[in-house]
Structure formats: structure tokens, C-alpha cells
Amino acid sequence: MTPGVSINADAWMHRAIGLSAATLPHPNPRVGAVVLDAAGSEIGAGAHRAAGEHHAEVVALEAAGSSASGGTMVVSLEPCDHDGLTPPCTSAIIEAGISTVVVGALDPDPRVSGRGVDRLRGAGIEVIGPIAAPQVEAADPAYFHHRRTGRPLVTLKWAQTLDGQVAAADGSSRWISGTEARADVHRLRAANDVVVVGAGTIRADDPGLDVRLDGYTGNQPTPVVVAGAEPLPGDAAVWNRSPIVYSATPIDIPAGELVVVDGDSGVDLQAALKDLESRGHIGVLVEGGPTLAGSLWAAGLVDRVVVYVGGRIGGGLGKHPLAGDFATMADIDDVTVSAVELLGNTVKIMGER
């Protein structure tokens, strides 16, 4: 950074994180970068869009051109220092003549994990940070989870009434939550690589499993169906989007890809998640129904829950969120509530298992 020139690092980092959130390049991380000239003015910005394409740092440097020399880069995630599908970002930063790099968070990928920062410092570049690790991770939780555990981040979502029911006895559930909450679900879909439902949900609700927001042109998650032994309806909306269908036995499907993963009592859910991970899908959103949700929960495969509690009461005997037995308090599991938000007349509750 030029002596005597100061920048609002927090404000520029906020911009970089915002740029990162506009794309979903999994299995690579979401990254945004801003280049400031020697006077502290923005001259280039960019985000990483997809694996194999330029990283955010390179996009921003190309936009800045020769004016980047002597300037500052503000980047949400530590620059990489290894050869992959693209060259190391550290080399591009050094060659551009950047004098200062402000880093939001260190990369949990063991191929990076501090090495990028060390390379820059070794080249005489001032490195500031990490200054926004919680915010950066919040913008891309699936990437951080996957790099730390080797597993996709599985989020289980449902909507329920105040008395804990997700559907009426006849299976109908539209609508338990309000319009604001339903829009939030579409934002949740946009932040994940796949949306998973069971066969019962396909039959009862015929969901499209896509993102429908005004003006939205970003990521559309891949639809995934966990099928049972019964045939799936041939006219379901999901077939228009080439879903991945997991089944314990070979079945006929009109479109998409069938993957047979036979377990002890139906579909091997752990094998299905492993297959999704092998395709680069590390953010998995499960939208039901109760049978699939209960099976995933019982197998210990759920990492997060997002519950929308609508301001409505069903009464009587409807359907509950998770199928299974709750015989005694010894069967109960703890969830750490991480956030509560009021969306119109619906309460959104987020929790970590």
C-alpha cells in the first residue's frame, strides 16, 4: 500500500464477499477479489465462476491492467499457490506488482492453508488478515465443511405448522409457510449444488426443484430423487430438468440418470452422497419428505437443519417432519440453534447438528 494512503479494508472486503456470493463454482470455493490502485480507488474486480476458469484474483487483475502495479488486492479467500486446472494465483499477484494483499480468510484446503500467504510475504508483499473469516465461511459453508471433513454439507429443510406438522393427513402441504419464507427457500436452493427429495414428495407435491426468483440468472441446482420400489409418475415436472435418480434396484425413468446404490434396507444413502461428492456436488439441500429425512437423520448424515415454522395450526393427526421412533427421551438428539429470523408470519430456525 502506498505510504500515506489508507483504505477501508472492511468495506472493500464486504464488496469482495458480495462478488463471491454471485457465483457457485463448487467443488472450488466462492472467491471475490477487488484491486485498488495506489490511490485507493477500485480499478478491477472479479469472482471465480467455475472450476477450470480464471480465479477471482486473475479476473480482477486482468480488469485492472498495468494500473495494478503498486496497488492493493482485497480478496475474500487466501490465494492459491499450487498448479491445478489453472496456474497459482500467487504468481499472478506477484507478477502484477501488487504491494499489499488483504485476505478475508485462510483456505482450509491442505494444498493452500497458509502457503499462499507465505508465498506472498516471501515475495515482499504485505499481507493483512485474515480479517473476515466468519463472514467468508458463512458465504460458502459447503466448501469449508467439505475441505475439513471430506463430505458434502447436508442441509435438511422443512416447513411445519406451530403444532409441528409438515402436511395434512392426505399429504397436502401448500402452503404452511408464508410468501417471504418461500422466497427464502429459493435463495437456499440457489446456494446449493443439488436439491434432494424422496419419491413420496414427487408424488404428493410434483416439485420443480429449481430456483424461481425475479431476475435470477444464477446457479440452478441439480434435482435429485431418492426412489423407492414403486414407479415414479412419468409426467412429473422434475423430468424436465434431467434429475439424478438413486434407487436400490433398476427402475425405468423417462429422463435423467439412474444410479443404483443398494443398501441393507433400500437406497444406500451414504453411497449416494459419495457419488454426489464425486461429481463436485458438495452443497446438498434435502427438502423431504419425512421418510427420507428420517433415514438421513438416523444415519447421522445431516449436518444442518433449516426449519420454517408457519403461523398456522393444523390440529389432529397430520404428518411429522421425520419418520421414525421417538419412544423415550433417550432417543432425542441435540441441535445447536445458530440463528432465528422472522420472515413475515413465518419463523426461520437454523441449527447445527
Q: Which residues are catalytic?
A: 57
Q: Does residue 149 sit in helix, strand or coil?
A: helix
Q: Rounded to whole angstroms, how far apart are CA atoms 232 and 349?
A: 32
Q: How far apart are CA 82 and CA 76, in angstroms?
A: 18
DSSP 319: B
Give the strand pairing for 194-198 and 222-226: parallel
Strands 346-352 and 336-343: antiparallel
Compute the radius of gyration of the chain from its Cα atoms.
23
Q: Which residues of 221-258 are buried (b: 16+ CB within 10 A; e: fewer)?
A: bbbbbbbbeeebeeebebbebebbbbbbeebebeebee
> Position of cell 424422496?
198
Q: How many CB atoms lie within 10 A of CB 265?
A: 8
Alpha helices by DSSP H, listed for 196-304, are: 199-205, 269-278, 290-298
Q: What is the DSSP string of 150-192?
A: SSPEEEEEEEE-TTS-SB-TTS--TTSS-HHHHHHHHHHHHTS
Cell numbers at residue 89, please?
Answer: 494465483
Contact at 8 Å (CB) between 224 and 195?
Answer: yes
Instruction: Please check whether residue 186 is in contact with residue 213, taking contact to mean a CB–CB distance below 8 angstroms.
Output: yes
- Residue 24 is placed in which grid cell? 457457485
**Cα 205 to Cα 238, 244, 277, 345, distances in angstroms:** 11, 18, 27, 22
- Element (DSSP H or E) covering residue 117: helix 115-122
